[in-house]
Amino acid sequence: MSKKNDALAIDNNYTPVTPDPQYILQVNALKKYFPIKGGVITKTVGYVKAVDGVTFNLKRGTTMGLVGESGCGKTTTGRAILRLSGEKTGGQVLFNGKEVYDLNAKEMHDIRTKMQIIFQDPFSSLSPRMPVGEIIGEAVREHGIVSKEEYNDYIDNVMDNCGLQPYHKDRYPHEFSGGQRQRICIARALALNPEFVVCDEPVSALDVSIQAQIINLLNDLQEKYKLTYLFISHDLSVVEHISDTVGVMYLGNLVEYGETDDIFKNPLHPYTKALFSAIPIPDPTIKMKRIVLEGSIPSPANPPAGCKFHTRCANCMEICKTQAPEQKEIEPGHYVVCHLYDDVKGVEKNEEE
């Protein structure tokens, strides 16, 4: 199917997936483009392809880490999954087997309690005019999570689970430290009894010692409430610690995806190898073999033909410049999008070995 907008066609061809109950989230060929307006009559002259065909599945009760350079589309992917950035451009987002973008206003209102987000900046995401108790409890009242009689005790219990005291309810966000503000954001999300939470770089604005506390809190809450996380981060060490699976994004595409141990012990894509080479090693006797990428990320409004990474790849071949690579399963559950593995038989070869 193709959709036309001001004489510019958007390719929306994909094979729909069947809902699978073992996955809480199934993302299939998800695209999110933002129009570029220009001309005297302000018509669409192009698109910023922020998310350009992302596919992955997320099992219940697990954590998927999403990594990549700034501007690669990680945050837009998280927001598009939650339907926070308008309509999708293409693809599927199945939450508990239901297409999120097919839900009407009432159905979307009801499902909001099951899908939450923790934002990167804990200060700007909190209203400075509301006390903490109101910030956490506003959505609880809106969705009728508990009765009026149980409301105060419920909020106290949620705050206690997140390391906050009952007397904090009457204080305002500016009276708290960065770590405490992030605990407030976590409590606000947890108060709605969610099943799935997008953690959009929740520790990047915090000190290292506070980061560890917040990561441990997220782990404890996941175990207690059986939560599922999509953990977006630049910090690869944190991602390795908290994630069960990892997806590596580059310029709107998922270039590698698999179990955390497989990805970190055996990175396959040249971009993944370059990212991981920048992870600091806490041992002065070990010399780091840093892979330095030449150039900068191309514009998502005008991505290069073929493989989007070929302009910065040391292993670039002629086919990379003209033909986009397809996703291949090299090991069980370990997928890569790269022409270097065109001749690899993948799972069958590994099983024979």
pLDDT at 283: 66
Does the CA dihedral 313-316-322-324 come out positive or negative? negative
* pLDDT at position 221 over 90: yes
From residue 45, how far is each of 5, 71, 251, 303, 342 by CA, in Å?
Answer: 10, 21, 20, 15, 35
Lowest mean pLDDT among 69-78, 206-215, 276-285: 276-285
pLDDT at 277: 86
Supply the pLDDT for residue 347: 53
Look over the chain and give the mean of its residue pLDDT values, rounded to a whole number.
89
Q: Is the pLDDT of residue 5 over 50?
A: no
* Residue carrying structure tokens 């350009």: 52
Pick the residue with more confidence: 96 or 203? Answer: 96
pTM of model > 0.75: yes
pLDDT at 288 > cutoff 90 = no
Is the CB of residue 187 less than 8 Å from the CB of residue 164?
A: yes
| pLDDT tier, 352 (very low <50, low <70, confident <90, very high otherwise) | very low
pLDDT the model gives residue 353? 37
pLDDT in tens, 168-179: 999 999 999 989
Q: Percent of the chain having pLDDT more than 70?
A: 93
CB neighbour burial string for 154-165, b if at least 16 within 10 angstroms, e if fewer: bbbebbebbbbe
Predicted pLDDT at 232 = 96
CA–CA separation, 24 and 232 (whole Å): 18
Query: What pLDDT sits at residue 7?
Result: 39
pLDDT at 4: 43
Query: What distance in Å separates the CA atoms of residue 351 and residue 345, rounded to the nearest whole number?
Result: 10
- Non-local CB neighbours of 266 within 8 Å, separated by 6+ positions: 331, 334
Q: Is the pLDDT of residue 129 over 60?
A: yes
Q: How confident is the model at residue 8 (pLDDT cuts 50, 70, 90)?
A: low
The CA distance from 76 to 84, in Å, is 9
Confidence at 45, pLDDT banded by 50, 70, 90: confident
